[in-house]
Amino acid sequence: MQQYTRLISAQAKQHHWTQAVRHLADVQQQQLRPNVFTCSATAAACTKAGHWTAVIQILCRMKKMLVESNQFTWGASISPVDGSQEWETILLLLDNMLTYHICSGNIINSAAINGCGRRHQWAVALHLLTAMWQCQTECNTITNSATLSACSNSSRWVLALQLLSGMKQHHVEIDVITYNTMMSACELRQQWTTALHLLCHVHNSLFETQTITFSAAISACEKSGQWVEVLWLLSKGTQDHIETDVMMYNAAISSCEKGRTWPNACMLLSAALMDKVELDTITYSASISACESKGKWMVAVTLLDMVRRGHVSADNTLLNAVTSACEKGVQWKKSLLLLGDEQVFGVKPDLITFKAAILACAHSSLWEQEFELFEVMANRALLPDMLVCGVLLMECEQTGLLDRELTLLDYLQHGAAVPIDATT
């Protein structure tokens, strides 16, 4: 029997699972009684080759061959299984273990729960974790984190928080990485209240709060438009000596933009500069957009000048925000100057930029400038939208420009840019 065991083990190392199964069959044909090592080696050979049906058949036949098996035998066979790819197989093995009254161990349950966590199978993961608690099986941090992640990724926030409280009552170890994973899930799904609850758990657990923890909480509040909570979190982080980074400030300034509180956005920008945080295009773009919504064109232009002096790369979003601020502030001259600064910023104006400039001119009834801009758009193959055409048609009606009105109507009919001579 030892010779067969060595032979099967050698076949397993070479991934020759069919030969291993054939040798095990030879053992039975010769009316020899296989031992646990022979069966485990054959099952391991099938496992490495990915033939899970054969694995289950061999493990189940051990009972009929009067070979004693336990959780270690099953665990050794399943240990090479990747929980992220073969979690259904692991669940099937668990079901068979229950059939044969074999208590599953930490290895198998952890692999199954990890697979469930990756596939958002929160109910199965929770069932497995509960079974481990009932069997008094030791649960490691990875197992608990996978279950919490499965609940969080499936938007089962109340259940996740209840599970978190239950783990603390059972003195189950929970690390800060688990909290960060759940916070990130809250951020993606705009669950700002849950994110704040988790942050309180972190503080109560006496963990050293990390930048990533605060950043995820701020992002969750920002995506939900809770700018007051964002400012409080940023202030709290400063008090707790949390190292602030550009992502935290970007999220905070973006929340002020959504809340149309441009003074707070500018205040945060100043605070970031004082903290010597290396700002990027997103920082300035969000700050300028906050000013744009209230027509604070002077502040927006000043911020744009800071971008130029700070050697920060400008983009269309940033340029469009400043141009829109000038449009809302009826600053047509500044809008035209921004269009002329194309070479300075290295950004080509797009449809939104030209539209803002045309609207700024329309507020001051500067029809000649409007049609000049329309001509430039046509030459650059930028197709004006219905709003721009509507503004130009209104100018034609009010100033009696019949030829231009007919040309515009032809453009609307054919849907193609039509150059208009501004001198006619």
Q: Which secondary-structure segment (H or E) carries 332?
A: helix 332-340
User: pLDDT-derived band of residue 240, with 50, 70 and 90 as boundaries?
Assistant: confident
Q: What is the mean pLDDT of residues 123-129?
A: 77
pLDDT of residue 423: 36
Ranges 47-51, 186-190, 365-369, most confident: 365-369
Q: DSSP labels for 238-257?
A: HHTT----HHHHHHHHHHHH
Q: Which is nearest to 319 in space by CA: 160, 267, 145, 334? A: 334
Higher pLDDT, 134 or 227: 227
Query: Which of 192-196, 329-333, 352-356, 380-384 bottoms out in mean pLDDT, i.e. has the lowest?
Result: 380-384
Buried residues in 181-195 as b, exposed as e (16+ CB within 10 A): bbbbbbbebbbbebb
- Residue 177 above 60 pLDDT? yes
Q: Is the pLDDT of residue 298 over 90?
A: yes
Residue 326 · residue 360 · CB < 8 Å? yes
The pLDDT score that the predictor gives to residue 156 is 80
What percent of the chain clears pLDDT 90, i.e. is strictly above it? Answer: 15
Distance, in Å, from the CA atom of 40 to the CA atom of 5, rounded to the nearest integer, reads 9
**Among 251, 347, 393, CA closest to 338:** 347
Amino acid 108: pLDDT: 65
Question: What tens digit of pLDDT does each residue of 50-72 get?
Answer: 776 777 777 777 766 766 665 54
Buried b (16+ CB within 10 A) or exposed e, 44-54: bbbbbbbbbeb
Report the SS3 class of residue 79: coil
The CA radius of gyration of the chain, in Å to the nearest whole number, is: 33
Kindly tell me the sign of the dihedral angle through the C-alpha atoms of 291, 296, 299, 300.
positive
418, pLDDT greater than 70: no
Per-residue confidence at 424, pLDDT binned at 50, 70, 90?
A: very low
Predicted confidence at residue 267, as pLDDT, reads: 94
Question: What is the DSSP secondary-structure string of 147-216?
Answer: HHHHHHHTT-HHHHHHHHHHHHHTT----HHHHHHHHHHHHHTT-HHHHHHHHHHHHHTT----HHHHHH
Confidence of residue 174 (pLDDT cuts 50, 70, 90): confident
Distance (Å, rounded) from C-alpha 50 to C-alpha 367?
74
What's the pLDDT tens digit per position in 15-49?
Answer: 677 888 887 787 777 777 777 777 777 777 787 77
In whole angstroms, what is the distance from residue 42 CA to residue 8 CA? Answer: 6
pLDDT at residue number 283: 93
Q: Which two tokens stand for residue 404?
A: 């231009």
Confidence class of residue 421 from pLDDT cuts 50, 70 and 90? very low
Confidence of residue 251 (pLDDT cuts 50, 70, 90): very high
pLDDT of residue 249: 93
Min mean pLDDT across 48-57, 134-143, 208-217, 403-412 is at 134-143
Indicate the pTM of the whole model: 0.63
3-state secondary structure (DSSP) of residue 415: coil
Report helix angle 316-328 to 281-293, nearest 10.
20
pLDDT at 242 over 90: no
Helix (H, G, I), strand (E, B) or coil at 376: helix
Does the pLDDT value for residue 420 go beyond 50? Answer: no
Decide if 325 contacts 356 (C-beta within 8 A).
no
The mean-pLDDT minimum among 30-44, 330-344, 345-359 falls in 30-44
Instruction: Name the amino acid, one letter, at 329.
Output: G
pLDDT at 137 (0 to 100)? 59
pLDDT at 228: 92
Among 64-68, 72-76, 256-260, which is the least confidently predicted range? 72-76
Least confident span in 104-108, 317-321, 396-400: 104-108
**369-400 burial: b if 16+ Cβ within 10 Å, else e:** bbbbbbbbbbeeebebeeebbebbbebbeeee
What's the pLDDT score for residue 417?
46
Q: Residue 150 pLDDT more than 70?
A: yes
What does the pLDDT read at residue 19?
Answer: 81
Inter-helix orientation angle 351-363/316-328, to 10°: 10
E strands, 249-315, are: none
Q: Which of 141, 166, 167, 163 is nearest to 154 (CA)?
A: 163
Residue 416 DSSP symbol: S
Instruction: Answer whether residue 75 shows pLDDT above 70.
Output: no
**Average pLDDT, whole number, for the chain?**
78
Q: Is residue 328's pLDDT more than 80?
A: yes
| Residue 240 CA, distance from chain mean position | 26
Contact (CB, 8 A) for 234 and 218: yes
